[in-house]
């Protein structure tokens, strides 16, 4: 799965239309809880996956220094319709900012699970770590696969989830262990066919964060609030 393939996921008119309409939906209950508990006026916040503008629209005018990046130019353009953040097109795996300049780095909805390959996800976490001020927080929206997901209509639309698993098995049998990880799949959501890595348990997620040098401060229904170990 290349960067281009992820960008392509977010240029289809159906998807752009969905995010345009969703821009004023506001934050979820746990996002409100997290921002109220951790964000303070004048703090600098980097939102990764800022495209679509939902979080920027909800957080503007609250006295934060808001910065956003997104891989998709088209999704970034939707966000530009809301004044209130400094936006750029960039990948979570290669963030174009100076070290130690943010109080918070936040991987928004789905972004972390859309980074293909553990190696790339570790790179993204370590990149975020370098950008955080000494007492900064990293927040990652990342939910493990649950029976709720596998029994939802969304899961049933996964084209050939079983076929994907067989492909992974075939690659492994051929000795190509890095081709795909168990948990990698493609889902169709809001008209977007996208890559998604499903972690199997909260423990698996936590271990990945720990491997990059973070400790978990709190987990609010899938929003992981992390600090790095100094
Ligand atoms: C679910 S969407 C929209 C999230 C949006 N902020 C919201 O909740 O309305 C996820 C966004 O993350 C972006 N994205 C996916 N992978 C990314 C990556 N590796 N780096 C930066 N942005 C990425 C996509 O282009 C897309 O705009």
Contacts with 125 (C-beta within 8 Å, 6 or more apart), sequence order: 138, 208, 209, 212, 213, 214
Ligand 1, atom 15, lies closest to the CA of 111
Domain residue spans in the chain?
A: 3-143+199-228
In angstroms, the CA 188 to CA 165 distance is 17
Task: Kindly give the number of the ligand 1 atom that is closest to the alpha carbon of 124.
Answer: 19
Per-residue pLDDT of the chain (230 residues; tens, 9 = 90+): 566 767 777 777 888 888 999 999 999 999 999 999 999 999 999 999 999 999 999 999 999 999 999 999 999 999 999 998 999 999 999 999 999 999 999 999 989 999 988 999 999 999 999 999 999 999 999 988 777 776 766 655 555 556 656 666 776 677 665 556 777 877 777 667 778 888 888 999 999 999 999 999 999 989 999 999 86
User: What CATH class does 3-143+199-228 carry?
Assistant: alpha beta
CA 53 to chain centre: 14
Give me the pLDDT at residue 113, please.
93
Give me the pLDDT at residue 179, please.
56
Give me the pLDDT at residue 183, please.
78
Give me the pLDDT at residue 173, please.
77
pTM: 0.89
Place of tokens 């079983």: 162
In angstroms, the CA 40 to CA 62 distance is 9
Nearest to 9 by CA among 54, 51, 55, 53: 51
In angstroms, the CA 65 to CA 97 distance is 14
| Dist. CA 50 → ligand 1 center (Å) | 6
Is the CB of 108 inside a 6 Å radius of any atom of ligand 1?
yes
Query: Between vectors from CA 93 to CA 92 and to CA 98, what angle results, nearest 5°?
Result: 80
Give me the pLDDT at residue 121, please.
95
Our CA dihedral for 39, 40, 46, 51, rounded to 10 degrees, sits at 70
Is the CB of 124 inside a 6 Å radius of any atom of ligand 1?
no
Give me 120's structure tokens: 């790339």
């Amino acid at each position: 799965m290349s960067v281009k393939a992820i960008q392509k996921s977010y240029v289809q008119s159906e998807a752009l239309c969905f995010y345009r309409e969703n821009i004023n939906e506001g934050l979820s209950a746990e996002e409100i809880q997290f921002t109220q508990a951790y964000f303070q006026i004048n703090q600098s916040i980097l939102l990764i996956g800022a495209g679509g503008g939902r979080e920027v629209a909800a957080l503007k005018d609250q006295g934060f220094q808001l910065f956003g990046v997104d891989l998709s130019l088209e999704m970034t353009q939707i966000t530009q319709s809301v004044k209130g953040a400094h936006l750029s097109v960039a990948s979570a795996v290669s963030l174009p900012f100076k070290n130690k300049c943010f109080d918070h780095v936040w991987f928004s909805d789905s972004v972390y699970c859309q980074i293909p390959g553990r190696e790339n996800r570790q790179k993204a976490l370590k990149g975020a770590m370098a950008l955080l001020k000494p007492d900064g927080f990293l927040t990652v929206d990342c939910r493990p696969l649950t029976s709720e997901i596998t029994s939802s209509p969304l899961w049933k639309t996964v084209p050939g989830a079983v076929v994907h698993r067989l492909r992974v098995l075939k690659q492994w049998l051929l000795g190509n262990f890095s081709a795909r990880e168990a948990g990698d799949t493609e889902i169709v959501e809001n008209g977007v066919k996208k890559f998604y890595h499903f972690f199997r348990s909260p423990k698996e997620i936590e271990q990945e964060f720990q491997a990059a040098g973070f400790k978990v401060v709190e987990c609010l229904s899938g929003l992981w609030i992390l600090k790095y170990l100094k």
